[in-house]
């Protein structure tokens, strides 16, 4: 299937600038396992975007970023509190439980965003040896439902976490989409808002493969180099992951890609809103759209344009736009949908 569809931003290819960068650095020999000059340069660039204390490590996947990133700061008797829709809870095949041994406690939310009021019930039992000890609150930005936390909302959760001796983790698999949506630099809604550990995504926004784990406060990464190696995420040819981020930050490629995918989602949402029988269920604040489509029509459209069912009972589907989605893709999709309704 070579057609561009709306199934996932992971289904898009790599941006040509990323491939060009990989060719550029594919010369001579470089020290392996991150001792190369490109990894040093990329880590420095992250400090420019996240602040001088940010310690950054590159890994292959977003699941690894979440799981081994949190492993650095949690022990097996700790709890991680998150939204029931969090990737950490639904789409990591129990890796957090298996590899960290932590208990994952969840709360249902209307829009993928947790609040202090929602999670308070899980933040108790401190010092009681029969009770898993609360340690991590994890939020996703932008969320799995396409919504975006404001700086104020993040600060409130971070202040609460710190007042209880907890740490705030942010799953930023789609961090660039949130930055564009908020119109803010990364630092303002991560480091400066009180986030402690950040999974910084790249793959969904134009990279071929590469994610970064960012420890935003000094000391949080003290044992991390051992954890990454045990977690099998220490790439021998690390330069091919890290150099992608050099291209990603150069000329704000990240912003160009995320602005485009967010804008395409807004265009698609506007066209869907005009169709009778179609109902958008979440605010469209990034590159994802959640929509109720009559089941039979959706099944027929899916044969040509694959996309995922989100809630079979509600007949709710997820449509994702990517850095390479075009207005023609949208027009063709909408035309087909109208025909099948």
Ligand X SMILES: Cc1ncc(COP(=O)(O)O)c(C=O)c1O
Residue ranges binding ligand X (CB under 6 A): 61-63, 87, 140, 144, 171, 173, 203
Partners of residue 214 on adjacent β-strands: 56, 198
Q: Which is nearer to ligand X, 145 or 337 (CB)?
A: 145
Q: Which is nearer to ligand X, 207 or 238 (CB)?
A: 207
CA distance 31 to 33: 7
Q: Which is nearer to ligand X, 7 or 253 (CB)?
A: 7
Q: Are 49 and 249 in contact (CB under 8 A)?
A: yes
Q: Which is nearer to ligand X, 133 or 233 (CB)?
A: 233
Q: How far is the CB of 319 from ligand X (least distance, A)?
A: 14
Q: How far is the CB of 171 from ligand X (least distance, A)?
A: 5
Q: How far is CA 64 from CA 52, 99, 104, 235, in A?
A: 24, 10, 16, 12
Q: Which is nearer to ligand X, 174 or 239 (CB)?
A: 174
Partners of residue 235 on adjacent β-strands: none
Q: Which is nearer to ligand X, 90 or 251 (CB)?
A: 90
Q: How far is the CB of 241 from ligand X (least distance, A)?
A: 13
CA distance 115 to 154: 9
Q: How far is the CB of 130 from ligand X (least distance, A)?
A: 32
Q: How far is the CB of 207 from ligand X (least distance, A)?
A: 11
CA distance 227 to 245: 22
CA distance 141 to 150: 10
In degrees, rounded to 5, the angle at the alpha carbon of residue 81 between the alpha carbons of residues 290 and 46 is 75
Q: How far is CA 136 from CA 82, 129, 161, 203, 205, in A?
A: 9, 18, 8, 25, 27
Q: How far is the CB of 61 from ligand X (least distance, A)?
A: 4
| Residues in the chain, total | 341
What's the distance, Cα to Cα, between the start and end of the chain in Å?
24
CA distance 298 to 97: 35
Q: How far is the CB of 268 from ligand X (least distance, A)?
A: 19
Nearest position to ligand X, beta carbon: 62
Q: Which is nearer to ligand X, 61 or 281 (CB)?
A: 61
């Amino acid at each position: 299937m070579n057609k561009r569809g709306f199934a996932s931003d992971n289904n898009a290819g790599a941006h040509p600038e990323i491939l060009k960068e990989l060719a550029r650095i594919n010369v001579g020999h470089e020290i392996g396992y991150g001792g190369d000059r490109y990894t040093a340069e990329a880590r420095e660039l992250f400090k420019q975007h996240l602040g001088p204390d940010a310690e950054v490590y590159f890994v292959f996947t977003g699941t690894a970023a979440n799981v081994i990133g949190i492993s650095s700061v949690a022990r097996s008797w700790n709890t991680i509190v998150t939204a029931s829709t969090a990737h950490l809870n639904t789409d990591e095949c129990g890796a957090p439980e298996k590899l960290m041994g932590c208990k994952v406690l969840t709360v249902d939310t209307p829009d993928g965003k947790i609040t202090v009021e929602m999670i308070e019930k899980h933040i108790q039992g401190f010092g009681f040896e029969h009770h898993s000890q609360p340690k991590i609150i994890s939020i996703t930005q932008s969320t799995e439902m396409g919504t975006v936390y404001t700086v104020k909302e993040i600060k409130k959760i971070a202040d609460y976490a710190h007042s209880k001796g907890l740490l705030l983790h942010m799953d930023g698999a789609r961090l660039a989409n949130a930055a564009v949506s908020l119109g803010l630099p990364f630092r303002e809604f991560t480091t400066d808002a009180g986030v402690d550990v950040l999974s910084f995504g790249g793959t969904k926004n134009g990279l071929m493969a590469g994610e970064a784990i960012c420890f935003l406060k000094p000391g949080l990464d003290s044992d991390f180099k051992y954890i990454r190696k045990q977690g099998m995420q220490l790439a021998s040819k690390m330069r091919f992951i890290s150099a992608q981020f050099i291209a990603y930050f150069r000329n704000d490629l990240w912003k160009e890609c995320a602005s485009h995918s967010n804008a395409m989602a807004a265009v698609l949402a506007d066209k869907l809103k005009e169709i009778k029988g179609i109902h958008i269920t979440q605010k469209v604040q990034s590159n994802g759209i959640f929509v109720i489509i009559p089941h039979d029509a959706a099944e027929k459209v899916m044969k040509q344009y694959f996309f995922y069912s989100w809630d079979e009972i509600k007949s709710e589907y997820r449509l994702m736009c990517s850095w390479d989605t075009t207005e023609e893709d949208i027009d063709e999709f909408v035309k087909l949908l109208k025909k099948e309704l």
